[in-house]
Structure formats: structure tokens, C-alpha cells
Amino acid sequence: MKRMVWLFSLIMVVGIFGTAKAQSNKASYQKKYHDPALTELDDIREKNAALRDSITTDIQKLNAADKKNTEDERPVLRSNVDLVKKPKDIAGFKPQYHFEPVAQYQSGMCWCFSATSLIESEIYRQTGQEIKLSELHTVYYEYLEKARRYIQQRGYSEFGEGSECNAVFRIIKQYGAVPAEIYTGLIQSDRHDHTKLFNEMECYLQYINDNNIWDEESALETIKVILNKYIGKPPQSFDYQGNTYSPGSFFKEVVKINLDDFVDLMSTMKIPFYSKGEFDVPDNWWHDASYHNAPLDEWYDALKNAIKNGYTLAIGGDVSEPGYNGFEDVAFVPDFDIPIDYINQDSREYRVYNGSTEDDHGIHVVGYTKYAGHDWFLIKDSGRGSRHGEFYGYYFYRGDYVRLKMLGFTVHKDAVQDILRKFN
């Protein structure tokens, strides 16, 4: 009997201790303990970091504001025009046919606006048709081809907003053209602003470059997506005057001019005269070497005779001189720069060499007159400066400015046969 009582007591003791052991091993969530000393150190570090960041931010904002104010308030060197006798109005130039000037606003499309305007004038001269073409159709595919070459050259190819006038001819041959009303490129505003468009494409191509991802097909599809977002997808077919066309058939069947009939002329000492060579500027990103190089005097005479004989020309060069004044609608070379009689091949080349003459802007020469003993050219311009003066969208270029600061021009070959005969 005592033995049974002892065993029962032992079982109870074991059960009690077993139960207690099981209960003491239960898990539960508890609030995390933060050591006050470490927390205090964290707070001090964060406050110091916030103070440093705020000081840095304030300094950055202050310097950014100062830089902007400095740039905004920086005076521009200009020559007075008191003694410049300029034509009194546009009519005095007896302008050749052209559409009214179109503004490019915040974009780098001058090359396309000027050459497209030339083609429109040539359509009228050759066929009598008045057809306003879409500049943005060309711009869309020019960006695509720039991106293609950038990828193929593994980043060693210029990708910028600018290009050359003859790029328009190259793109139309490949992709055709459409009327302006069919494709405006204006889907987010009624004014062209390509700031975000270009930045996004540039950043994407830089990403490709940084990561060595050179898949041309997928990269170009992404470039198309960006272009479509900002300027819209170009039409593959459209209706025009009761008929349906593709961009290619429209140019072939309606426009009906031969783009191979146009030539480019430059004047530089870098290559022999009366030979063809590359126009050595960044915007000639595909390294076109079909430019005819002629001595300055003959180059200038060819330009002047072309406009006097009823042809218009797309021309490009430098537009950042003291004698370039949109508020007065004029471009001339001031005496304090260089006297007119000293403008020659050497002085022209010297300015190209030292960078004071650059390939800034493309324009359309649409008229000529002789006034106060000087040649004057009527310039149709898509840039903002030409909207500051009395004659909206136009400049009056004096002959000395053309000789010294303009670099090359594009014209129909029939206008310059005399000089072309000197080329092999």
C-alpha cells in the first residue's frame, strides 16, 4: 500500500514539473527594445545629417539661382545699326515664291525647316503646285536614323538635335513625305517643344552605351515609342485630294521633283578647291562627303546669281555675331570686327579655325536686292530671333555677313552650272 502511494506521488510530481516546463517554452511577440543610448546617438547623427543636407540644398539652390540670374542678366554684345542703310521692306527684295515662315520654337529643327521650305519653293517653280510639306515627318525618321547609326557605331556617332539641309533629301528618298496638315507632330501643345523628347532619347541611348546593350532592333523600337509619345506616329497611308497615298507614292506621284538634282556647295581651305569632300561639322553626323568646295568669291557669286535668276537656296552658318540683330531684322559685319574690304578666304577660314564661326543655324534665302551699294538677301527663318523685329519670320542679311559667316548652301544644280563645270 505504501509502495502504491509513493508511485502515485512520484507520477504527480513528474506531471507537474512536465507541465511547467512545457508552459515556460511558449513563444510570443514582444515589442522591440530600443536602447536609449543608441537611440540618442541615432537621433544626433540624423539631425546632423539633416542639417548638412539642408545647408547643401540651400547652397545648391542659391548657386543655381545665381547662375540663372547671371545668365539671364548677362549682356549681349551688339553693334548699333545707326549707320546701316538697310532695305525698307520685304517687297523691295522681289521675293521668290515661298510659304509664310513657320516657327520651330523650342527645338533644333532649323535644318529641316529651311530645306523643306526650299523643296516647297522648288515644287512651285517646277510644277506650279502649292504643297506645304510636313517637317516633322522628316524629323521623326532622321532621329530614327541617328539612333541607328549611334547603335551601329557603339556610341561613336553624333546624336544631337541638329542636322544638315541635305538630310531632308536623304530622308525623303528613303521614307517619302506627307502634307503638313496630315502630320504636324503637335500632340501635346500647339507649339513645338522637343526638350523632353530629346532628353529622353539621349538618356536611353546613354543607358545602352553604359551597359553595353547594342541590340539594334529592340533599341530602335524603344526610340519609336519615345517619338510616338511626344510627336505622334507618322501615317503609313493617308487621303489627299480624293486619293489615297503612302508617303512614298505621294512624293513620287504628286510632288514629282527629282531630289538628285540638288547640290551642296561650301568654301573651305581644308580640301582642294573644285573637289568634293566632307562638310566637317558635328551636325553632318553621317559624314556626307558630297559637298562641292569652291573659292569664296566664286561660291558667293554662285549663291547671288542663283537667287537673282529665280532660284532659292537653303543656307547655313553662324548667327552669334554683334551684327546679328533680330530686333532690327539685320545681319551685317561691324567695322570693329573686320572691315568689309578685309573679308576674304583667309579671314573667313581663320574664324572657322578658331571657333568663332560655327554651324549654328539653317535658313532659306528667298530674295535679293541691291541697296545703298551693298548686296542684301531676304532670309526666311524659323528661329525665334526673326520674330523680334518688324518683319516676322524674316532677316535682311547684308552681303558681307554671307561671305564671312555662312558656311554652305543647297540649291538646284541648274542654278550653278558654271561653277559645277569646274569639278571633275
Give the model's pLDDT for residue 1: 54
Give the model's pLDDT for residue 253: 97
Domain CATH number, residue 273? 3.90.70.10
Looking at the domain assignment, is residue 350 inside a domain?
yes
Looking at the domain assignment, is residue 215 inside a domain?
yes
Looking at the domain assignment, is residue 409 inside a domain?
yes
Pairing of strands 330-331, 394-398: parallel
Looking at the domain assignment, is residue 321 inside a domain?
yes
180 or 59, which is more confident:
180
Give the model's pLDDT for residue 2: 52
Looking at the domain assignment, is residue 286 inside a domain?
yes
Give the model's pLDDT for residue 100: 97
* For residue 17, pLDDT beyond 70: no
Contact 409, 265 (CB under 8 A): yes
pTM of the model: 0.85
Q: How far is C-alpha 134 from the geometric centre of its chain's CA atoms?
A: 16
pLDDT in tens, 356-408: 999 999 999 999 999 999 999 999 999 999 999 999 999 999 999 999 999 99
* For residue 7, pLDDT beyond 60: no
Looking at the domain assignment, is residue 15 inside a domain?
no
Residue 292 has phi, psi (to 5 degrees) of -85, 125
Q: State mean pLDDT over 129-150.
A: 98
Three-state SS for the chain is: CHHHHHHHHHHHHHHHHHHHHHHHCCCCCCCCCCCHHHHHHHHHHHHHHHHHHHHHHHHHHHHHHHHHHHHHHCCCCCCCCCCCCCCCCCHHHCCCCCCCCCCCCECCCHHHHHHHHHHHHHHHHHHCCCCCECHHHHHHHHHHHHHHHHHHCCCCCCCCCCCCHHHHHHHHHHHCCCECCCCCCCCCCCCCECHHHHHHHHHHHHHHHHCCCCCHHHHHHHHHHHHHHHHCCCCCCEEECCEEECHHHHHHHHHCCCHHHEEEEECCCCCCCCEEECCCCCCCCCCCCCEEECCHHHHHHHHHHHHHCCCCEEEEECCCCCCEECCCCEECCCCCCCCHHHCCHHHHHHHHHCCCCCCCEEEEEEEEEEECCEEEEEEECCCHHHHCCCCCCEEEEEHHHHHHHEEEEEEEHHHHHHHHCCCC
CA–CA distances in Å: residue 261 to residues 141, 178, 421: 22, 20, 15
Q: Half-sphere exposure of residue 70, counting CA atoms within 13 Å on the CB side? A: 6
* For residue 11, pLDDT beyond 70: no
* For residue 72, pLDDT beyond 80: no
Portion of the chain with pLDDT greater than 70, in percent:
94
pLDDT in tens, 243-271: 999 999 999 999 999 999 999 999 999 99
Q: State mean pLDDT over 228-255.
A: 97
Per-residue confidence band for 63, with pLDDT thresholds at 50, 70 and 90? confident
What is the number of structural domains in the chain? 1
Looking at the domain assignment, is residue 66 inside a domain?
no
In this structure, which long-range contacts are made by residues 210-216, counting pairs with CB atoms below 8 Å and at least 24 apart in sequence? 214/151, 214/154, 216/148, 216/151, 216/152
Looking at the domain assignment, is residue 37 inside a domain?
no
Give the model's pLDDT for residue 10: 52
Average pLDDT, the chain: 93
Q: State mean pLDDT over 130-146.
A: 98
23 or 24, which is more confident:
24
User: What residues make up the domain containing 413?
Assistant: 91-420
